[in-house]
Amino acid sequence: MQLSFHKMHANGDDFVIVDSRNSASAMTSAMAQRMGNRNRGIGFNQLAVLLDCDDAAARVMFWNADGSALDVCGSATRGAADLLMREANVTSLMLRTNRGLLTCERTPTGAISVDMGVPLFGWSDIPLAQELDTAALPLAGIPAACSMGNPHCTYFVDDLASIDIATIGPAIETDPLFPLKANVHFVQIIDRTHIRLRIWERGAGIAQGSGSCSCGAVVNGIRRGLLDSTVEVECDGGSVTVQWDGLGAVFLIGPVEASFSGTMSQG
């Protein structure tokens, strides 16, 4: 049996979308892992499956390349919104995720804006293994943590080039302090409206970009008093904009592009 898919990316943060509306989703953790394998499958950082939904354009379920599930993915949410807006010839719609209902809009430049919801800071919301001050964790480098529907750990550094992300990233991702593991980001502040961000993504490794990580990094920077409410986030693959007023929802604005479409055997 063949499974149709769309391969897309957001500044190099690649993802696959499978449209399972009007049908029963056959997606499993094992199938997601097989599709995510860059040698034997399609390859992606995240997978998004579109399902029928009564109160939104679609329900979106997400998987990492290692077959683990996640509640939200900013890049793949923008990709799903782009596809569905083009299909319906509209410039705004709602998507339902495990994070809740997310409002998506196409900006005049063609970028996609997503209301990513309100960040969470409680130790049990992230979650952490114990009650701690999430603005200053007792780890080397004193990172900050928050949840954007998935756990984020942010380091603020003077020189990104000196950081061994391939060593530090997986060590922090799997630290016992994070029972569900963590996305780990390293931020170099250019000025109060511009940061350089490098990412170790939970279940995916070093990423060219990540919507939720960009949001988590900016949120933690604003909490620390280091950033203004609108920030350009420059990742390895390109830039997005993150807006947060310090109280309500976080908005993620950035481009998405189609790479190719195809079919893959489910057998």
pLDDT digits (tens, 9 = 90+) for 103-132: 999 999 999 999 999 999 999 999 999 999
Residue 1: the pLDDT is 66
Task: Measure the CA–CA gap between 146 and 25, rounded to whole angstroms.
Answer: 31
- Residues 61, 164, single domain; the answer is no
Q: Is residue 99 part of a domain?
A: yes
Beta-strand ranges (E) seen in the chain are: 2-10, 13-19, 46-51, 58-64, 69-70, 92-97, 100-106, 112-115, 144-147, 151-156, 183-191, 194-201, 205-207, 230-234, 239-243, 251-254, 257-265
Q: Is the CB of residue 25 less than 8 Å from the CB of residue 34?
A: no
Q: Is residue 137 part of a domain?
A: no
Domain total in the chain: 2
Give residue 159's identity as a one-letter amino acid code.
D
Residue 247: the pLDDT is 95
Phi-psi region of 217 (alpha: psi -120 to 50; beta: other; left: phi over 0): alpha
C-alpha 169: how far from chain center: 16
Q: Is residue 139 part of a domain?
A: no
- Residues 12, 107, single domain; the answer is yes
Q: Is residue 218 part of a domain?
A: yes
Residue 113: the pLDDT is 98
- Residues 161, 85, single domain; the answer is no
pLDDT lower than 70: segments of the chain: 1, 25, 267
Domain extent at residue 160: 144-248
Residue 266: the pLDDT is 72
- Residues 110, 162, single domain; the answer is no
Q: What is the CATH number of the domain that holds 208?
A: 3.10.310.10
- Residues 259, 212, single domain; the answer is no
Q: Is residue 138 part of a domain?
A: no
Q: Is residue 133 part of a domain?
A: no
- Residues 199, 259, single domain; the answer is no
- Residues 227, 260, single domain; the answer is no
